Amino acid sequence: MRQPERRLVDTPAGKARISWYEAGRARSVLALGHGAGGGVEA
């Protein structure tokens, strides 16, 4: 199995880790997160 690409990005709440798999002929992007409110305590 392929390993995902990984990167740390700066956000207003601190560092965020993003992971993705590159597709050969992508037509769209699906982005999933764990919530938008209050950090890990939410």
pLDDT digits (tens, 9 = 90+) for 1-42: 789 999 999 988 788 888 888 888 878 888 877 666 666 665
Cα separation of the two ends of the chain = 33
Is residue 15 within 8 Å of 7, Cβ to Cβ? no
Is residue 35 within 8 Å of 22, Cβ to Cβ? no
Cα–Cα nearest to 13, from 42, 38, 41: 38
The pLDDT score that the predictor gives to residue 41 is 62
The pLDDT score that the predictor gives to residue 17 is 87
Is residue 20 within 8 Å of 4, Cβ to Cβ? yes
